[in-house]
Amino acid sequence: MDAPQTGEFAHIGKSVVIKGELSGSEDLYVDGKVEGKIELRNHSLTVGPNGNVAADVSAKSVVIQGKLDGSVIASDRVELKKSAVVNGDVTTQRIAIEEGAFLKGKVDIQKESGKAAVPASV
Amino acid sequence: MASVSDNVMKFFRSSSNAAGPATPQKLSRRSSGMGEISRLLNSQEGLCVLDMGATSANNIRFFTGKGHKNYSEDLLRSSLDPALRMQDSEGKTVLDSKKFLDENLVYPNAHFDVVLCWNLPDYMEESLVKPTVDRLWSVMKPGGVLLAFFHTRDAGPDSTCYRYHATGTEMLDMQEVKFAAPGRPASEKVSPRLQRVFNNRHIENLFRDFASIKFFLARDSIREVLVVR
């Protein structure tokens, strides 16, 4: 998956290093290095293939192609691409994991009230 | 002196297959042990399940779909971390089991109801096996169950290392394990090598702190072991 080409999103390039707390009200694409915390509430986070995130993440949806160390809380869905390396617990309603992705941690599927959860898919 | 890369390569079969199929072929096998585990998982909710094989979307889907909490930890891959290698007093390369357990299987005591060990003990460096089983005893709940597969003597050293995908029945889907060895090009995928064959006495000693142990001998040179903490 390439970086998003259209729409409103913030892009952290692969030469960028950020330490601290990141929050925002738009989608975020991280292909650089982030240490700290990422909070996007109703928006999505994509960790690109060069992305290296050492942070607890909270967002609506999270797509990971690179490396992430930290817990992930996604109110909607989490997607681990084949190159993803995730060390941390994942809490979400839906999760999709591609063949080859690496996950070390707990997966907790939180059921949305009134709906059955849709668990992992390939 | 052998390099770290050379030392690591003894854990892999020599027949690397970089040009192999992108998605390895899936096979299946009947597992009496998994049949018992499946009955447990199908009849209860909210169990804590530790899957010690390679990350499997199928397993996460099955366990979480049944309302269980799934923990994934690929210990075979973690055990190949070159940082674990150190020299003993005689200059031999050994694995630092203390460091290994400082970084892996770090959970509260009595946490897991089900542990799927799969074929890990047969493919893991021997010095890590007993400390790992001891740690598993600590993190399992009393009454918790562990499933492990051991090769019999009929299996050769080039026995294929499989990862296993639960189906909710006693059938398991199997897929050959291949990954990039540390210090080798990422494109060069290799298969883990069978390190040893445990006999029944060894297996009983390995799990001697557990409450009970049950053996199932399968036709495919695999001895399944279901252990209760």
Residues of A in contact with B167 (CB under 8 A): none
Tell me, yes or no, whether A78 lies in a domain: yes
- Residues 6+ away with beta carbon under 8 Å from B39: none
If one counts every other C-beta atom within 10 angstroms of the C-beta of residue A37, the result is 14
Would you say residue A118 lies in a domain?
no
C-beta of residue A104 within 8 angstroms of C-beta of residue B73: yes
For A44, the domain range is 25-106
Instruction: Name the residue among B60, B73, B74 with its Cβ closest to that of A119.
Output: B60
CB atoms within 10 A of CB B205: 12
pLDDT greater than 80 at residue A7: no
Judge whether B170 and B32 are in contact, CB under 8 Å: yes
Percentage of chain A beyond pLDDT 70 is: 84
B65 CB neighbours in chain A (<8 A) are: 109, 117, 119
User: Under an 8 A CB cutoff, do B57 and A99 touch?
Assistant: yes
The reply to whether A111 falls in a domain is: no
Residue B101 pLDDT = 94
CA distance A79 to A100: 13
Confidence of residue B71 (pLDDT cuts 50, 70, 90): very high
- Residues from chain B contacting residue A120 (CB–CB below 8 Å): 57-58, 60-61, 64
Assess if residue A117 is contained within a domain.
no
Pairing type for strands B93-95 and B85-87 reads antiparallel
Of B58, B64, B78, the CB nearest to A107: B64
Q: Note the helical H segments in chain B.
A: 4-9, 32-43, 57-65, 75-79, 97-103, 120-123, 126-139, 200-206
Cα of A39 to nearest chain B Cα, Å = 24
pLDDT of residue B7: 58
Q: DSSP secondary-structure letter at B146?
A: E
Nearest CA in chain B to A109: B64
pLDDT tier, A69 (very low <50, low <70, confident <90, very high otherwise): very high
3-state helix, strand, coil in chain B (%, to 5): 30, 30, 40
Eight-class DSSP state of B209: T
Structural domains in chain B, CATH included, are 4-14+25-228 (3.40.50)
Residue B227, amino acid: V
Which residue in A has a C-alpha nearest to residue B179's C-alpha?
A: A100
Q: Do A109 and B64 touch (CB under 8 A)?
A: yes
pLDDT of residue B185: 72
How many domains are there within chain A?
1
Residue A113 lies in a domain: no
- Say if CB B211 and CB B229 are below 8 A apart: yes
d(CA B223, CA B37): 16
Q: Which of A64, A74, A68 is nearest to A29 (CA)?
A: A64
Neighbours of A115 (CB within 10 A): 8
Confidence check: pLDDT of B61 > 60: yes
User: Could you tell me if residue A31 is inside a domain?
Assistant: yes
- Write the pLDDT tens digit of every residue in B111-170: 999 999 999 999 999 899 999 999 999 999 999 999 999 998 777 777 888 999 998 888
In a domain, A9, yes or no: no
Return the pLDDT at B3. 53
Position B12 confidence tier, pLDDT thresholds 50, 70, 90: low
B57 and A98 in contact by Cβ < 8 A?
A: yes
A51 found inside a domain: yes
